[in-house]
A and B are shown apart, each in its own frame.
Chain A
Amino acid sequence: MAELGTMRVKTGLAEMLKGGVIMDVTTADQAQIAEEAGAVAVMALERVPADIRAQGGVARMADPTKIREIQEAVTIPVMAKARIGHFVEAQILEALEVDYIDESEVLTPADEEHHIDKWRFTVPFVCGCRDLGEAFRRLSEGAAMIRTKGEAGTGDIVNAVRHMRAVFGHVRRLGALREDELFAEAKRLQAPYELVRWVAENGRLPVVTFTAGGIATPADAALCMQLGADGVFVGSGIFKSGNPAERAKAIVEATTHFEDAEILARVSQGLGDAMSGLSAAALAPEQLLETRGW
């Protein structure tokens, strides 16, 4: 008997994406450019984060017509975003047979208290986090993949670095705790003890952990990989730059050869203008996307 939607099948797809780049796309043409450049998946969106930030208004799930066009255009997995807590958007995305749902703070949250109960779905979910406690809470709700948050749509890597350091550093510190100290730590993290203990013993999260938010150059992607990410999401950084096709290829290559400075130097040259970007530190607290979710 074939069994659908098991946790192993859900987390397994993320395992296959490791070492790869997932690119935000808003059209079938962009999706093909991403696939040709070697993206491992695309994220189908109505607007990239930089435009959501610039134009304001409520950001919602993409139009199903757009998602279908993108699914028709490529053979790689197609992901799509649902608003935090908006389980009906997630039901629609599952009916469209997207390959992964991103319950994302980049869209306007639909619920101020509850995230989606992800165990109820056959399609797997990826969720963002700023620290280890947030990652544990998403995992206990059924997330099958984690991405550390950055500040989406800025082209500024600083917040992504802060959150990777917070998550991966905390994982390493858990490994140094005595068993009786893990109980207190689980309580502090508001996380299930079994999960905390597994992470302490294995030195990593139980699911694949990508990073996202603010990646604009090959060097940014390699920095994330060297800090411990399993792969990267690139949002506005590609299609808001001067030469998307070349930049996409360069970021893919940098993600594979993240420890080879000679290759990084070569792929970094002559890419034209990176997205102009915003300094994340200059944003007012109410302009931050990363603080959505809890």
Chain B
Amino acid sequence: MVERALIGILAVQGDVREHAAMLQRLGADVVEVRKREHLESLDGLVIPGGESTAIGRLIRLYGIEETLRGFERPVLGTCAGMILLARDALDGVPGQPLLGAADIVVRRNGYGRQVQSFEADLDMGGGPPLRGVFIRAPRVVHAGPDVEVLAELDGDPVLLRDGRVVVAAFHPELAGDPRVHELFLECVAEHRARRARTVG
């Protein structure tokens, strides 16, 4: 029998509950991460939507930021999570912590303020359209050569994968379609299998 994946959700602030519900629905065990010790023994980590400046300040405390930088397992970041995982963020706050786990540059609030927040159908490599919920979303302005673009909107990449890191400018946790979380859990399973082979 395959052991269930243990996924941590960074829970200093943001829409933790929605990610937890989606991951549990897909058969993963979920723990909330508020301190560095909660990061031990996880198979993967989700950085949820929220306010990236608030999350950034709270991870500066208690050494969470350094531990996150050293975290080498799969990570999913949505909206604010995407900003935190980026190499650089334009229109950010000076000194805002960025983890640089994905080789992308984003513009914060790149689609405008809340009155411009929107929903749109996305094409995720065929199949039925994926409903993207964009809330004061970051816009990807640059993606490195090794970054795979999994979905676009009007020419802008909105769902990307850089190795073990999956990032979305929108909120797959809000729309009920499990495909982005399934993709992340596949990434977690591959990573675990690779580790098992290395140890074995």
A residues near B, CB below 8 A?
1-6, 8-9, 12-13, 15-20, 35-41, 75-77, 94, 97-100, 122-124, 249, 252-253, 256-257, 260
Contact = CB atoms under 8 A, between A and B. Distances in A.
Q: Which are the 4 A-B pairs with shortest beta-carbon distances?
A: A38-B57, A99-B114, A2-B118, A19-B13
B58 A8 contact: no
Contacts of B136: 13, 16, 77, 99
Contact of A8 (B11, B17, B119): B119
Given A1-B120, A8-B175, A97-B115, A18 B13 contact: yes
Given A18-B13, A35-B93, A9 B117 contact: yes
Contacts of A123: 114-115
A20 B50 contact: yes
Interface string B92-105: 11000000000000
A76 B115 contact: no
Interface in B8-65: 11-18, 34, 49-51, 53-54, 57-58, 61
Contacts of B51: 16-17, 20, 40-41, 76-77
B171 interface: yes
B133 interface: yes
B166 interface: no
Contacts of B14: 16, 18-20
B135 interface: yes
A97 to B, nearest CB: 5
Given A1-B121, A20-B54, A77-B136, 17 more contacts: A3-B118, A3-B120, A4-B117, A6-B118, A8-B175, A12-B15, A13-B135, A15-B174, A17-B50, A18-B13, A19-B14, A40-B51, A40-B54, A77-B51, A124-B114, A252-B58, A253-B58
Contacts, number: 125
Interface string B69-83: 000000000011000
Given A12-B171, A13-B114, A2 B119 contact: yes
Contacts of A12: 15, 117, 133, 135, 171, 174
A252 B50 CA distance: 14
Contacts of B57: 36-38, 249, 252
B109 A75 contact: yes
Given A15-B18, A16-B80, A77-B136, A35 B119 contact: no
Contacts of B115: 4-5, 94, 97, 99, 122-123
B139 interface: no
Nearest to A41: B51
Contacts of A77: 51, 113-114, 136
Contacts of B80: 16
7 contacts: A9-B135, A16-B50, A18-B13, A18-B17, A20-B50, A36-B93, A40-B51
Given A13-B135, A122-B115, A257-B34, A75 B93 contact: yes
B131 to A, nearest CB: 9
Nearest to B52: A75
Contacts of B91: 75
B53 A16 contact: no
Contacts of B50: 16-20, 40
Contacts of A257: 34
Contacts of B161: none
Most buried by A among B12, B13, B54: B54
Choose among B12, B91, B121, B134 the residue with the greatest number of A CB atoms under 10 Å from its CB.
B12
Contacts of B92: 75
A79 B135 CA distance: 15
B116 to A, nearest CB: 7
A2 B112 CA distance: 14
B118 A19 contact: no
A32 to B, nearest CB: 9
Nearest to A11: B174
A290 to B, nearest CB: 27
A1 B119 CA distance: 8
Interface string B146-161: 0000000000000000
